[in-house]
Amino acid sequence: MYLTPEQLAEIKKSIEDQRQEILEKLNQRNEEGYEPEVRGDEADIANSEGIAMTMERLQSRDVRLLKKLDEAARWVESDDFGYCESCGEEIGFKRLLARPAARQCIECKQNEEQRERGYYHPRPRKPPKPLHRDEDEDEL
């Protein structure tokens, strides 16, 4: 494990903060409970349906992110935490702190995004190093 106990604690706090933030947003939207307008002219109705759809999209995006953060909260307790699930490289403290739901290092993430957009030019990179973490266990 390349992260210090202090860094792990910071990441855990970051996960918790982000979870709270999303939960608040979700609850807030639920309380506001946006109902599509059923009266008014057609433009009003179309417009309000558009807003309702946007709200739904935001809700489901946040629900997905919340799930990822829940996974991250479990992941952070495991020995595999902090290693890219694609290449096995260290994801890095700063990235994990900013995006604790991230499961890939920035390079794999960028490669994936490029592939999704249809132009994939992976940069040459060193092969993943074997995951050995037997010696520094006691640092935790």
Amino acid at the residue 49: E
User: For the residues of 65-123, what is the DSSP string, one character each?
Assistant: HHHHHHHHHHHTTSTTTTB-TTT--B--HHHHHH-TT--S-HHHHHHHHHHHHT---PP
Say how far apart CA 77 and CA 104 lie, in whole Å: 17
Residue in 3, 76, 101, 108 binding Zn ion, rule: CB under 5 A = 108
Judged by CB under 5 A, the stretch of 24-32, 54-62, 66-74, 77-85 that binds Zn ion is: 77-85
Q: Which is nearer to Zn ion, 19 or 68 (CB)?
A: 68
How far apart are CB 75 and Zn ion at their closest, in Å? 15
Which two tokens mark 67? 């799930």
- Does 102 bind Zn ion (CB under 5 A)? Our answer is no
Judged by CB under 5 A, the stretch of 9-17, 32-40, 65-73, 79-87 that binds Zn ion is: 79-87
- Does 84 bind Zn ion (CB under 5 A)? Our answer is yes
Say how far apart CA 124 and CA 106 lie, in whole Å: 14
Residue in 3, 72, 101, 105 binding Zn ion, rule: CB under 5 A = 105
**Where do we find the tokens 């973490």?**
133
Judged by CB under 5 A, the stretch of 1-9, 23-31, 65-73, 78-86 that binds Zn ion is: 78-86
Interface residues with Zn ion (CB under 5 A) are 84, 86-87, 89, 105, 108
